Amino acid sequence: MSETNFVDYIKLFCASGNGGAGSVHLLRAKYVPKGGPDGGDGGRGGHIILKVNPQFWTLIHLKYRKHIRAEHGEAGRGNLAHGADGKDVILEVPAGTVVKNAEDEQILAELTQPGQEFILCKGGRGGLGNTHFKSPTHQTPRFAQPGEAGQEGWFILELKLLADVGLVGFPNSGKSTLLSAVSAARPKIADYPFTTLEPQLGIVSLPDHRSFVMADIPGIIEGAHQGRGLGLRFLRHIERNSMLLFMVPADCPDVTAQYRILLKELGKYKPELLDKQRMLAVTKADLLDPGGEKMLRRRLPRSLPVLLISSITGYNISQLKEQIWNILWTQ
């Protein structure tokens, strides 16, 4: 099995640089027999900085960089020369990256805006040279301040995809087929469960230069909030979607029951997900005859917008895109 390019969880060790030591130096120059202290300050240690790159969509570039260290600051020198600062290490990450402390999984930062930066490990401050410690009663101090130690630790980088619409449904409910029908994305499509093993993003275009981002999330099964199926690994990608499009195939025994199971799983995983805007798309409507469609409509839930669609024939696809747009921009 080929290795996927999509990586949404990384654990890595980061260490910023130590500050350089301050210099202990006394001025020595011709005709200056007692020049006094002139030791310079040490340089700052390098930071470890996370920066959002909007062109990135995965953490795969960090997968094999398990230990990341920044440079130490250089020591100060005589003649009040300041030591050079250590070089910062900038790690580019995709928008939607959550930074956690690996020990207690406390969230340290959520990076969502292009260009946003977060100092993960701050470099140690440089020590003060002996010139800072001279006084009328101590004119030639022969000591200086050592550099401050940098910060280090294990951290978790967790990616939560940013999308306008998240597709929620059981495996093999037509999510990938819909994404390929409305965007240029080409997810793997096959007639067996869990064909989609990683989230897929697609840009859906509408007339008048309008567009929104749709995310195909791997299928959810009953008990997903407890880790069944692909479970918790991909449920987190739903958290940042502006609205949820529930997808249930028309040939299932009870469309409303399946919708309620999906809703229950999301509520048990994180109750806040139930506050998002929702819509139900009944897929594979091309399998229904006119009588079957009429009977199905009578049993559909009334608590949210519902539309019967077929990604194969294009039935109601344009209406679906317009309805999603209206929901997104009338929230």
Strands laid side by side in the 277-283 sheet = 200-206, 210-216, 165-169, 243-249, 277-283, 306-308
Please provide the DSSP assignment of 240-299 as one string.
T-SEEEEEEETTSS-HHHHHHHHHHHHHHH-GGGGGSEEEEEEE-GGG--HHHHHHHHHT
Tokens of residue 60, six digits: 């795969």
| Domain ranges across the chain | 1-159, 165-328
CATH number for the segment(s) 165-328? 3.40.50.300
State the Cα–Cα distance between residues 45 and 243, nearest whole angstrom.
Answer: 44
Structure tokens at 212: 């929104």
Range with the poorest average pLDDT among 84-93, 112-121, 247-256, 316-325? 247-256
Report how far apart the first and last C-alpha atoms of the chain are (Å, whole number): 43
| Complete DSSP assignment for 105-167 | --EEEEE-STT-EEEEEPPPPPPPPGGGG-BTTBSS----PPPPP--EEEEEEEE----SEEE
With 0.85 as the threshold, say if the pTM is over it: no
> CB of 99 within 8 A of CB of 109?
yes
Per-residue pLDDT tens over the stretch 39-61? 999 999 999 999 999 888 888 88
Which position has the token pair 């406390």? 106
* Beta carbons within 8 Å of 117's beta carbon, 6+ residues apart: 49, 50, 51, 52
pLDDT by residue (tens digit) across 282-319? 998 888 887 777 888 888 888 889 999 998 899 899 99
Domain 165-328 in the same topology as domain 1-159: no
Calpha distance 265→219 (Å, rounded): 12
Q: Above 80 in pLDDT, residue 113?
A: yes
| Spatial separation of the C-alpha atoms in residues 112 and 166, rounded to whole Å | 17
Give the lowest-confidence range in 36-45, 129-138, 194-203, 305-314.
194-203
Of residues 186 and 15, more confidence is placed in: 15
Given CATH 2.70.210.12, say whether it is the number of domain 1-159. Answer: yes
